[in-house]
Amino acid sequence: MKKVELKNVSKSYDGQTNVIKGIDVSIEPGEFFVLVGPSGCGKSTMLRMIAGLEEISSGDLYIGDLLSTKRSPSQRDLSMVFQNYALYPHLNVEQNITFGLHTKKVTKAEQKKRCLETASMLGLSELLNRKPRQLSGGQRQRVALARAIVTQSPICLMDEPLSNLDAKLRAKMRSEIRQIQRKLGITMIYVTHDQTEAMTMADRMMILHNGDVQQIGHPLDIYNNPANTFVASFIGAPPMNLLNGQIGDHALILGDNRSISISKKMMDELPMKPMNTANLTIGIRPESVQLAKEGKMSFFADAINVEVLGTETLVTFEVGSKQWIAKWNGQWNIDIGERMPLYIKEDDLLLFDADSGDCIWHKEKVEDKRTLKEAML
């Protein structure tokens, strides 16, 4: 296991276009670290700089304790899995897996031993004599992963390796990759644009947007406490409901004569004073929009779309000029146009500066994972 550290790392083309802007991050030994963001945010470029396939314009890269900014890819002691797998079509599975070992001066006997061990781990033992064209997408992905693992490098880089697979196979491979990483104890840096992959696989993750780091942290901490409106809207399915609003008399004014009551305690905690709130954005997670009961109600809304997904129901309604979504467990029989009494707790609210997008108020939430023992009590 090795540590990877980037110190004020930037990447520019022609000395003008910055695609990566001053990134500082320390990736711990044995950590599964995910780079996530929309297409074009710079995550693959950052991965290629760590691999040595892209030159670092400024800043320093440390792999282990060695300054590796100018070292060649072969000197960095890492492996990489590419998005398109990059298998050699004229070689069989075994030859693809062991292809890079001869450059490391590994003996034939040791190559065979490592190949058989890795193939057994990934369920490829029966496929060693097949060519890549005879394999399914999932099998090719396993071969590419096997080729990275067989080198026994302490660091593995993965560039959107599941993007070519169907949804069911992607879910299966997510679990398999995570189990293998834990078993081998390697440091893994994984690039994806899929926030579900990031949430389910990462020990920690970095969210990038236009080459800038938006937030680094544990998945649930980022989900519960997003740093800005971009993170709030990017992480979560469905994304966070957002709307520009104002602070009234012990209430947040949403528009259309709708409001959410807030306590005097929350009013006192807000960083701005009432009547000075034109640049305020209100956020609420879909699962925090509740059906009102026991006399507690925030406002009425009419259902404009209902999606029953089996285990949960998504109900769309309008607030001000925006469409919001409520996410409720179970199967709900709600008609389009039906009027719903809704309730939102103040502890579930987030407030953002509408100009900068930065979060300016939220009720601090810790990662509240229930254990089996707690569930059985």
Residue with tokens 């890795």: 118
Last residue in a domain, options 186, 202, 230: 230
Cβ(176)–Cβ(188) under 8 Å?
no
Residues 316-375: pLDDT tens digits? Answer: 999 988 999 999 999 999 999 999 999 999 999 999 988 889 998 888 766 566 676 776
Q: Nearest-CA neighbor of 330 among 316, 340, 315?
A: 315
Domain that holds residue 341: 239-363
Question: Are residues 161 and 259 both part of a single domain?
Answer: no
Last residue of a domain, one of 203, 230, 257: 230
Comparing CA positions, the residue from 170, 179, 191 lying closest to residue 35 is 191
Amino acid (1-letter code) at residue 91: L
Angstrom distance (rounded) from CA 271 to CA 146:
53
* Mean pLDDT within 118-143: 90
Six-digit token string for 102: 């001869």
Q: Could you say which of 211, 230, 249 is where a domain stops?
A: 230
Query: Is residue 368, in this structure, part of any structural domain at all?
Result: no
How many angstroms separate the CA atoms of 182 and 202, rounded?
Answer: 12
CATH of the domain at 245: 2.40.50.140
Rounded to an integer, what distance in angstroms lies between the CA atom of residue 207 and that of residue 36? 5
Distance of CA 338 to the CA centre of its chain: 35
CB atoms closer than 10 angstroms to residue 175: 11
Q: For residue range 9-52, list pLDDT tens digits in order.
A: 999 987 767 889 999 999 999 999 999 999 889 999 999 999 99
Question: Which bin fits 346, alpha (ψ -120 to 50), beta or left (φ > 0)?
Answer: alpha
Beta bridge pairs of residue 206: 35, 216
**H/E stretch holding 268:** helix 264-269
Assigned token pair, 88: 């050699």
| Same structural domain, 104 and 170 | yes
Alpha helices in the chain (DSSP H): 43-51, 93-98, 108-122, 137-149, 167-184, 195-201, 219-224, 229-234, 264-269, 372-376
Specify whether 62 is located in the same domain as 112: yes
Decide the pairing of beta strands 187-192 and 155-159. parallel
What percent of the chain clears pLDDT 90, i.e. is strictly above it? Answer: 60
CATH number at residue 76: 3.40.50.300
Report the percent of the chain where pLDDT is more than 70: 95
Q: 142 with 123: CB under 8 angstroms?
A: yes
Amino acid 215 reads Q
> Is 374 domain-assigned?
no
Q: What is the pLDDT of residue 103?
A: 77
**Is the pLDDT assigned to residue 197 strictly greater than 60?**
yes
Q: Are residues 79 and 144 in contact, defined by beta-carbon separation less than 8 angstroms?
A: no
Q: Parallel, antiparallel, or unpaired: how do β-strands 251-255 and 32-36 relate?
A: unpaired
The DSSP 8-state label assigned to residue 370 in this structure reads P
End-to-end CA gap in the chain: 39
> How many residues comprise the chain?
377
Q: Which residue has the higher pLDDT, 371 or 196?
A: 196
pLDDT at position 106: 86
Top-confidence range, 120-129, 141-150, 277-286, 322-331: 322-331
Residue listed under structure tokens 């009590």: 377
Burial of 302 (0-12, 13-18, 19+ CB in 10 A): exposed
Give the closest residue to 192 by CA, choosing from 44, 4, 31: 44
Whether residue 35 is contained in a domain is answered as yes
pLDDT digits (tens, 9 = 90+) for 100-116: 887 788 899 999 999 99
